[in-house]
Amino acid sequence: MVSITTSSVTTQVTDAIRDAIIKGKYKPGEKLSEALLSEYYEVSRTPIREAFKRLSIEGLVEVKPRVGTRVTKPTEKELTELFAVKEVLEGLAAKLLAEKENNTGIEQLEHSIKRMEDALESSDYNIFVEANDNFHKFIRAESENSKLNFFLNSLLNQISYNRYVHLSIEQPNRLEESIMEHKRVLAAIKSSNPAEAEKYMREHVKASGQVLKKGVAKELYE
């Protein structure tokens, strides 16, 4: 049982369900029960229904009257579209960061890459995924474009992106390639070269996306 105690019940419930979907607790296509969730979070059904409405707007769930609410299951076409947009937005974020006159905190990107290298050496793939996520989150945050951040996060949430990142690990040599791609992006940012930063980030996202799309499609449709 999870107890919700603050006044912002709907917001907390929404955040909790969103987090559970993103982390894969609720699978794509899985039906969500108002009754069970209200019991689990120890709230009435009203904040659960409101949470469903909010998550529907974000694209995380699909609400059908007299049918129920299910976790969104993206089609293969939607996956292709989502990754195409991700490539553009991630590239733009890297470009914007490289354009900044005072790039403080670059050592955080270096630290993320070092953690990836250490994780590869020790075969700690959970740490690798976490370090990779931190690298990209830092670039998005430091690009200082709130709309870019909002749209990109919404896109990633729609397919519970973090749940599938581990699939890239299954491809031989992919982690080594990924580290080199991150280093090229970082070098371009450090040298204040926006064009190269965007180019290398788009190449990295495209390469990663190709692996992830195959993994997602295999898990959902085969």
164-212 pLDDT, tens digit per residue, is 676 666 677 889 999 999 999 999 999 999 999 999 999 999 998 888 7
Identify the structural domains of the chain with CATH numbers, from first to last: 9-71 (1.10.10.10), 76-221 (1.20.120.530)
Distance CA 189, CA 142 (A): 12
Q: Give 131-157 as a DSSP string.
A: HHHHHHHHHHHHTT-HHHHHHHHHHHH
Amino acid at position 65, single letter: P
Q: pLDDT digit string (tens) for 25-64?
A: 888 889 999 999 999 999 999 999 999 999 998 888 999 9
Q: Which helix (H) or strand (E) segment is 62 a member of?
A: strand 61-64
Q: Which helix (H) or strand (E) segment is 127 a member of?
A: helix 125-142
